[in-house]
Amino acid sequence: MTTRKIALIDTTGKVGQPYLETVAKALTTQVKRDFADVWNVTADVIAANQVPAGYWPIYVVSELDLANAFGYHYLDANNVPFAKVLYRDNWTLTASHEMLEMLVNPYLNKYQVTDISTDLPGDENFLVEVAGPVQSINFSYRIDNVVVSDFMYPAYFDLLYTEGKKYDHLGVIKKPRSILEGGYVSFIDNVGQWWQAFMIQNVVDLRKLVDGTATDGNIKRVLRGILYGAASAVGFYVLFKISKLWFRETTATN
């Protein structure tokens, strides 16, 4: 099993060291108790003032350098994973969301072949982000009174439903590839085009992305699917960066 080290760092001066330590302890409990055996990765989370060597940071910030989002995870100039979380009510939900997704897909290069839409030919490559489909606070839970995120199980990406199989930690997903209200998934179709699918008012809103933006409709409406609950870990900006990297690597190997 892979073991990671995570440093939770408050840059706002609003959290307070005792509560930061409480949150770090709750996140450690979540990973080791609920998450590690499912995804074969574990972590120790500490509260810190700066990033110790070998740690991946989660920064709690007053302002986020990604518009209209509550958090994201990405890579720094040295290819080290990090996350940023906007300080607000229930910021710990986003911290949990970003931590879990960073642990499973730290370099944003893991995809799962599956199928989400009969409107698109062939199968799609899902970006493996384990909290997006259940990102709303309505599907959160508490550890030591700290709000943390639900998360998907590997079976979520199955093509066929299996009776009795678990698709997420809380058991709110009843069949594979479902998206709950306020959730989303990101994927590439079989011609290399990025899409996102949102569940908004119980309707799947399927949107093609070009240069990180929706090709039709109001961008704020698309982002609403992100802003429900924990907000997107990836966002359109990061998707654009990933798509450029993916196309560059694909071109290089062809």
**How does pLDDT run across 92-124, given as a tens digit for each residue?**
999 999 999 999 999 988 887 766 666 655 677
pTM of the predicted model, to two decimals? 0.77
Give yes or no for residue 133 having a pLDDT over 90. no
Backbone angles phi, psi at 106, to 5 degrees: -65, -30
**How does pLDDT run across 31-66, given as a tens digit for each residue?**
999 999 999 999 999 999 999 999 999 999 999 987
Is there a contact between 157 and 126 (Cβ–Cβ < 8 Å)?
yes
pLDDT for res 116: 62
* Alpha helices, DSSP H, located in 81-228: 91-104, 219-227
Nearby residues of 194 by Cβ (< 8 Å), 6 or more positions away: 186, 187, 188, 208, 209, 239, 243
pLDDT for res 119: 62
Domain boundaries, the chain: 2-253
Output the average pLDDT for the chain.
Answer: 79
Nearby residues of 14 by Cβ (< 8 Å), 6 or more positions away: 62, 87
